[in-house]
């Protein structure tokens, strides 16, 4: 579960997020979408405790971020859009490191399975510095999955992945949600997240234009195609005329 209430983030004088509120039910696969500079990365980096909110309240995986940030970090995995790996560790050593840092037991079979599914087995003894962009991305995703987190925050996870890897990513995200994890995916690839996600948070200029079930967004704003792309263009295009108030959708 992810609950965000009246979240404000300023960088100096600049307001990047201006009072965002939304609640993502546990077990959802939610899309966080919005134009460049909307505040998606800022929101995700705040949710996992890397950035401090200027104001507002966040509950992530059953814990209040302001009260128990360590618990939130234990229960949450974050994969940034350009994952920083350890150049001098191999692929296998990254998984070992995560297992030891988070005191995982019986992780080796899971690690082998993840390496196989993301076609990294042949690279398991390769240093991170010698991996391609997409391979680095897959190592970071495998490390996140290995921990079996309650909440997964994935910022542009499809960047650099080839079509088979995108398919694997989608399958594995669905599996994470089936085991109860809440997944928040930020992406500009609307057609790819369209059939993956069941919940939508759409933001623009730091304001939430819509939050609620994706089906509801499709019905109300998807036009004849009912696609997420149509929802995106209608909401981001009409927001000024309609006003944010009219577009806000409650989560109940
Ligand atoms: N460290 C920073 N200092 C000042 N302004 C920042 C900083 N980080 C982000 N911003 C600004 O905050 C706004 C939101 O940025 P953010 O990276 O959250 O957007 P985004 O929705 O992830 O964008 P994109 O889709 O382009 O990745 C932008 O206007 C950006 O320039």
For ligand 1, pick from 38, 201, 207 the residue to mutate: most ligand atoms within 8 Å of CB: 38
Q: What is the pLDDT of residue 237?
A: 84
Can you list the domains of the chain with their CATH numbers? 2-247 (3.40.50.300)
Residue pair 78/153 in contact by the 8 Å Cβ criterion: yes
Among protein residues, the one with the nearest Cα to ligand 1's atom 31 is 37
pLDDT per residue over 48-85, tens digit each? 999 999 999 999 999 999 999 999 999 999 999 888 89
Among protein residues, the one with the nearest Cα to ligand 1's atom 3 is 11
Does residue 173 have a pLDDT over 60? Answer: yes
CA of 232 to the centre of ligand 1 (A): 19
Pairing state of beta strands 151-155 and 76-79?
parallel
Ligand 1 — pocket residues by CB below 6 A? Answer: 11, 14, 16, 34, 36-42
Among protein residues, the one with the nearest Cα to ligand 1's atom 27 is 36
CA of 34 to the centre of ligand 1 (A): 12
pLDDT per residue over 7-21, tens digit each? 999 999 999 999 999
Residue pair 15/206 in contact by the 8 Å Cβ criterion: yes
CA–centroid distance for 246 within its chain: 26
CA–centroid distance for 76 within its chain: 11
Return d(Cα 231, Cα 71) in angstroms, integer. Answer: 36
Alpha helices in the chain, H assignment, sequence order? 40-47, 69-75, 91-101, 108-117, 133-146, 163-178, 190-194, 214-221, 228-242, 244-247
Output the CA torsion sign for 146, 135, 86, 154: negative
């Amino acid at each position: 579960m992810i609950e965000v209430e009246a979240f404000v983030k300023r960088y100096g004088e600049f307001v990047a997020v201006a009072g965002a509120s939304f609640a993502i039910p546990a077990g959802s696969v939610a899309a966080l979408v919005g134009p460049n500079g909307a505040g998606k990365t800022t929101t995700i980096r705040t949710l996992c405790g890397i950035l401090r909110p200027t104001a507002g309240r966040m509950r992530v995986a059953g814990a209040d971020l302001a009260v128990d940030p360590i618990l939130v970090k234990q229960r949450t995995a974050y994969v940034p859009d350009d994952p920083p790996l350890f150049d001098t560790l191999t692929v296998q050593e990254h998984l070992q490191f995560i297992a030891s840092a988070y005191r995982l037991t019986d992780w080796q079979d899971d690690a082998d399975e993840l390496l196989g599914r993301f076609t990294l087995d042949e690279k398991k003894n390769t240093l991170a510095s010698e991996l391609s962009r997409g391979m680095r991305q897959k190592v970071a995703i495998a490390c996140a999955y290995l921990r079996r987190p309650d909440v997964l925050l994935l910022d542009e996870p499809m960047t650099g992945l080839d079509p088979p890897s995108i398919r694997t990513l989608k399958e594995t995200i669905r599996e994470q949600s089936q085991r109860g994890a809440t997944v928040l995916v930020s992406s500009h690839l609307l057609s790819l997240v369209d059939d993956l996600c069941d919940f939508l948070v759409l933001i623009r200029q730091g304001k939430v234009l819509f939050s609620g079930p994706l089906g509801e967004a499709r019905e109300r704003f998807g036009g004849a195609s009912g696609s997420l792309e149509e929802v995106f263009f209608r909401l981001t295009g009409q927001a000024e005329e309609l006003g944010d108030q009219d577009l806000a959708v409650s989560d109940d």
